[in-house]
Amino acid sequence: MEDIIFPYMLNEDYYDNVKSFADDFLDFSKKFNFKDDEETLAALCIGVYWYLYGTTALDLNSNIHQALANLSEYRRAFPEDKLFIDELRGKLLTRFLFKPFKKNNEKLTEENLELLINFLEATGDYVDQIPHFRNFSHNLDDCLGLTKWFCKNSSNYLGEYTSNLENYLEKNHTNHLMEEDVIFFHGHELEYHLNMLGAEIMNRLFKADFEKRPRKAIILPGCMCSNTKKCKAKEDRLGNVCTFCNPECNVFKITRQYDDCEVYIVSHESTAFKGAKKEDMDELGIIGITCVLNLISGGWKSTNLSIPPQCVLLNHVACKNHWLDEDIPASISNNQLKKSI
């Protein structure tokens, strides 16, 4: 494992550093008079995505946007056709949306925001963010003001955790071409930092509602298992449940340690909460464990279902689906998990 290059790697100082970053960011954001911190986060997301993807969004053909958006919707409705749909989406995404980063200096107008949303919709990676962007009504110039500060300062707080990202992407620059996660895999450092900051802001936003819920659930990704091929977890309505087949497995340890919580294994972010019923939406508060680039989408996916979330980050990526040559067991900060509960 010492020889593996990870796109990000956390240490025990991470949670203190991201808290300091969030304090300073939210203090700076007060000058723009957003109605609350959730609108502030939406504004920053819009600004960062416009900065990173605006030039591509402006050039995106409307027919390609519609084709990719329809395929993404079809994939969610008919998961049994995933392989066929993903193959087609991968080719279209690589051909029309995957372009080298080019700094975008175009003005963010209402019309251009709609074009940006079209791009995000076409990728299929921002489904749960888009409703917040469509309902955004604040001055769009303030999105760019936030983004300018964020771009200038994020590496000072969080750069050490993504210091290997450039090397990782250079080493793997041909990976995932013609695959449906090509945009996701080649994410820019600013998008990592945006999700780190976003998770901290969301944890603050939804902490009080989370604490009021009578049921608490820890949602673990499949990469937390010590051996995904031999895992004997049983399927349940909200995810797979550990059957305690391996005492060395992190899922085993977490399920035993937090026996007052429900613990579920979810194979992919897209399948989370598929079995949720009204009683879950009324009673459940969740702690989601995920890798960095899924943080904001996962948090808003949960709140869109009226389930207040808290988040703990994986210390590093661990699965071969997106990131590595082979699966390795993922780990988290147990201290942070305790604090979250």
Q: What is the mean pLDDT of the chain?
A: 94
What amino acid is encoded at 50 in this protein?
Answer: W
Taking only the tens place, the pLDDT of each residue in 136-181 is 999 999 999 999 999 999 999 999 999 999 999 999 999 999 999 9
Measured CA to CA, the distance from residue 165 to residue 258 in angstroms comes to 33
pLDDT at 267: 79
Find the mean pLDDT for residues 245-253. Answer: 94
Measured CA to CA, the distance from residue 73 to residue 270 in angstroms comes to 12
Beta-carbon count within 10 A of 230 CB: 10
Q: In 127-274, which ranges are continuous DSSP H helix?
A: 130-134, 140-158, 165-171, 182-185, 189-212, 250-257
Residue 103: pLDDT band (50, 70, 90) is: confident
Beta-carbon count within 10 A of 55 CB: 17
Taking only the tens place, the pLDDT of each residue in 105-117 is 899 999 999 999 9
pLDDT at 79: 86
Contacts for 299 with CB less than 8 Å, ≥ 6 apart? 198, 199, 202, 206, 288, 309, 311
Query: Beta strands 239-241 and 234-236: pairing type?
Result: antiparallel
| Full DSSP string of 176-194 | TTTSTTHHHHT--HHHHHH
E strands, the chain, where?
215-221, 234-236, 239-241, 262-266, 284-290, 309-313
Measured CA to CA, the distance from residue 232 to residue 229 in angstroms comes to 9
b/e 59-89 (16+ beta carbons within 10 angstroms → b): ebeeebbebbbebbeebeeeeeeeeebbeeb
Residue 203: pLDDT band (50, 70, 90) is: very high
pTM, entire model: 0.96
Task: Please give the helix or strand (H or E) that residue 229 lies within, else none.
Answer: none
Taking only the tens place, the pLDDT of each residue in 212-233 is 999 999 999 999 998 878 899 9
pLDDT at 2: 61
